[in-house]
Structure 1
């Protein structure tokens, strides 16, 4: 159990080959968008994420083993028990991922590490590789700790988490429109995840799922993709730069500035409130953007219904002419 391989490292050749294939396809299909500097930035950020993981992985493993030593359930690990433990652990890990991902969008401290993944204004397979450098600093790993406390071995969880990330890789594409309806109903798909990466008010803070979209449907965060509205990718205030270090650390810089300048009674809120929150209401958050959009939609609908009421039903023409 302690010698399970890292699926993401083993999958690197697959990532390289499929990115090359999608890029070649984009030369013939204008629906698939690639921008060279953006793609290379994503790949460089992904490489940096691997390095950061190697540097901090030992500390995460040590903490995970400590929690596992204090587990409340002692499972006799045999090949027979793994037949039910591995699927259960995969589902629980994906459930934990949903709550990590949702928190990473709703709490600025976690968003500061996660924002790097959303910082591209394009959506292709390289976007999947645009990963954080500061996940350890943000304590993102704490969402997996309950699994170790329940008696699931850390090596198994890390292996299954790697499979989870590999699954999420293929959904970062515009090359696939919709999957079969039964598949879309249960699994996360490119269509569902395009919504998650969108900055359109309709789509903000939706579809946090990793593998199973059912979590979003269960907890009220699901939004289907609509063909009537073109998706805009990126973040609310796009970087406007391909600088690796700015992409990796810009939100941490923003937090530091707010902590320095904000009144004392508001400082902690700049860590735990949603991104875009400000004590004087001077900034845009997803809540204010969505509220304004919803109000505009209501006004548009009311104007349409009012116009229809004033016009009244069509008058039938008399038989006499």
Structure 2
């Protein structure tokens, strides 16, 4: 398995002349499947008379797709120029050499899922990482197109750092990113209202559409819950699980209302830097970078502005 991946990577690198982001190569290859699934979802919801997120909602859907395309293109470039070299530097300092085969793929994927859980939870609780992740949550509709709503800032804020434990164990960066692509591909299909509840054992072990609707909610009892990508077990173990009970209201607490992909990518980062630049003790100002998104300095008030998260 790993040898095949390495051969494909070498072939692509010979063609491009640059290191390739296997994650984005796989996701781009799966894009026709994603678009086809979105079309099927639309037809199913239309037949049920539950097409409120489709009927007359062309602009939000196009915005989601534009954000997804920008995310894929930007990551291909910055990984080729910067971050694949950084990941290979980490890999060069690995402690072991772990082959990816039929015996190791499941435990390695579970470890990757744990890394994703930590990354995802940090993306909600540390503002620096929230600056990128907020793009995904600012959509107020839930369709499969919402999964395409991604930020160009993920690489720049350092998402890949959370997956370096696999590289230090001896999994190549290309194989690590390939497994992450499988994780993200699974996640695409949980961004929907077309599936209500799955069998109990599936709901107990795996992330389902019901779980992920909760994750996208701004209802107070649902905020910062259900961080898993493929498995929901880490949420159950670490106290971040919530069952879908009442209807979900999608979006962020202080909603930004725009279809401009530059605005959507940069608004939270700009707001964070404005908070850092406001007068006050340097340590308190810098804390805006690593404090939770909702944190405010004692005795200060933010300048009134648009409702955002």
Unmatched segments (≥5 aa) in structure 1: 284-321
Counterparts of 1:158-177 in structure 2, within 5 Å, are 158-177=177-196
Matching of residue 253 in structure 1 with residue 270 in structure 2:
yes
8 A Cα contact 1:89 1:157, kept in partner: no
Residue 94 (structure 2) pairs with residue 71 (structure 1): yes
Does 2:32 match 1:13? yes
Matches of 1:30 and 1:279, distance apart in 2: 47
Structure 1 position 261, deviation (Å): 1.1
Q: Quickly say closer, same or farther: Cα 1:262–1:167, change in 2 above 3 A.
A: farther
Report if aligned partners of 1:188, 1:212 keep a CA contact under 8 Å in 2.
Answer: yes
Pairing of 1:82-101 with structure 2 (within 5 A): 82-101=101-120
Match of 1:134 in 2: 153
2:296 paired with 1:278: yes
The answer as to whether partners of 1:31 and 1:174 remain within 8 angstroms in 2 is: no
Q: By how many angstroms is 1:23 displaced?
A: 2.2
Within 2, Cα distance between the matches of 1:99 and 1:147? Answer: 14
Counterpart check, 1:41 vs 2:63: yes
Structure 1 segment 232-271 matched on structure 2, within 5 A: 232-263=249-280, 264-271=282-289
Q: How far is the alpha carbon of 1:31 from its aligned partner?
A: 3.2
Q: Rg larger in 1 or in 2?
A: 1
Superimposed CA distance per residue, residues 243-263 of structure 1 (whole angstroms, 9 cap, x where no aligned partner): 211111100110111111141
**Stretch of structure 1 that moved more, 254-263 or 167-176:** 254-263
Deviation string 1:155-186 (CA, Å, 9 cap, x unpaired) is: 21111100000000000000000010010010
Deviations, residues 216-259 of structure 1 (Å, cap 9, x unaligned): 00111000111xx2210000111122121111110011011111
The 2-side partners of 1:68 and 1:96 are apart by 16
SS at structure 2 position matched to 1:82:
coil
Aligned equivalents of 1:120, 1:62: Cα separation in 2: 33
| TM-score, with length taken from structure 2 | 0.86
Q: CA deviation at 1:8?
A: 1.0
- Given candidates 182, 187, 190, the residue that maps to 2:206 is 187
| Farther-moved stretch of structure 1 (23-32 vs 180-189) | 23-32
Q: Spell out the pairing of 1:84-233 with structure 2 (5 A cutoff).
A: 84-226=103-245, 229-233=246-250
Tell me by how many angstroms 1:27 deviates: 2.8
SS of 2:296's equivalent in the other structure is: coil
Q: Which is worse superposed, 260-269 or 164-173?
A: 260-269
Check whether the contact 1:106–1:273 (CA below 8 A) recurs between aligned residues.
yes
Distance in structure 2 (CA, Å) of the matches to 1:121 and 1:84: 42
Deviates more, 1:99-108 or 1:247-256: 247-256
Q: Which runs of 5+ in 2 are unaligned?
A: 10-21, 303-309
Q: What's 1:28 paired with?
A: 47
Contact 1:207 1:222 in 2 (8 A): yes
Range with greater deviation from structure 2 (151-160 or 98-107): 151-160
Matched with 1:60 is 83
Question: Is this contact kept in 2: 1:19–1:126, CA < 8 A?
Answer: yes
